[in-house]
């Protein structure tokens, strides 16, 4: 299979839907964090509205990430722009791997913490939340750098579909 020149309509839609869901999940975390504290204190793990919403959005992020990996395996992903510095290519690859890993490990750790009522995965969940925010920030800076400094057309690949 030769490498594609960009992403498909579906890959692009799922990428931007994920951005919205991740922002919602991080901004509206108070309800879940509060429910977790109460549950741990009282040893009663009730499915209140904030818990159901956090669980639903998190599971959606996981499902979409797995779907995107399948689409990527099927369609592939465009290569780095020609002539791009090797360290930058590596950094962007590692960032994408890290983002996919976190979109899977965050929901899994959250579900294990809640389902098994244990603290360790909840702590991992919190650490991974910081990692996700840091990686998304790096990813955003990379996209802006490509758009305005390198003017490489990478940003357009996530806007204009190839199909
Ligand atoms: C990518 C998906 C997810 C993201 C981005 C996310 C994000 C967050 C954030 C920002 C918090 C608040 C942490 C804090 O107080 O600083 C949190 C807490 C929590 N989340 Fe999630 N979450 C996700 C998926 C899930 C899922 C599917 C579950 C399953 C029920 C879950 C269970 C929990 C639990 C139990 C807590 C409280 C424990 C803690 O504060 O670490 N999360 N989550
Ligand atoms: C903050 C705004 C965002 C911008 C401007 C942005 C921009 C982009 C662009 C331009 C690409 C294409 C890179 C390339 O062709 O090499 C891309 C890919 C990607 N983005 Fe984002 N993104 C954003 C948010 C996010 C978020 C929140 C996530 C996940 C948590 C994410 C995960 C990914 C992944 C995993 C890829 C690689 C896709 C693949 O090759 O399969 N992005 N993004």
Q: Is the CB of 122 within 6 Å of ligand 1? A: yes
Quickly count: other Cβ atoms within 10 Å of residue 49's Cβ: 9
Nearest partner of 61 among 117, 100, 28, judged by Cα:
100
CA distance 55 to 74: 29
Local confidence pLDDT in tens for the 163 residues of the chain = 678 999 999 999 999 999 999 999 999 999 999 999 999 999 999 999 999 999 999 999 999 999 999 999 999 999 999 999 999 999 999 999 999 999 999 999 999 999 999 999 999 999 999 999 999 999 999 999 999 999 999 999 999 999 9
Which of 61, 90, 143 should be mutated for ligand 2, with most atoms under 8 A from CB?
A: 143
Residue nearest to atom 28 of ligand 2 (CA): 19
Q: What is the pTM of this model?
A: 0.96
CA distance 49 to 24: 15
Look up tokens 């758009």; give the residue.
147
Q: Is the CB of 114 within 6 Å of ligand 1? A: yes
Q: Is the CB of 136 within 6 Å of ligand 1? A: no
Tokens read off for 162: 């190839």
Q: Are 112 and 55 in contact (CB under 8 A)?
A: no
Sign of CA dihedral 69, 107, 24, 128: negative
């Amino acid at each position: 299979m030769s490498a594609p020149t960009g992403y498909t309509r579906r890959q692009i839609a799922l990428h931007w839907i994920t951005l919205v869901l991740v922002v919602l999940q991080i901004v509206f975390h108070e309800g879940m964090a509060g429910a977790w504290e109460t549950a741990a204190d009282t040893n009663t793990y009730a499915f209140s509205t904030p818990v159901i919403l956090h669980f639903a959005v998190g599971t959606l992020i996981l499902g979409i990430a797995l779907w995107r990996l399948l689409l990527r395996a099927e369609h592939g992903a465009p290569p780095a722009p020609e002539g791009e510095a090797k360290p930058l290519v590596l950094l962007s690859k590692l960032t994408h791997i890290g983002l996919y890993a976190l979109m899977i490990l965050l929901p899994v750790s959250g579900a294990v913490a809640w389902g098994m009522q244990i603290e360790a995965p909840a702590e991992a969940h919190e650490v991974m939340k910081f990692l996700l925010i840091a990686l998304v920030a790096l990813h955003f800076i990379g996209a802006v750098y490509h758009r305005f400094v390198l003017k490489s057309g990478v940003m357009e690949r996530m806007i204009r579909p190839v199909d």
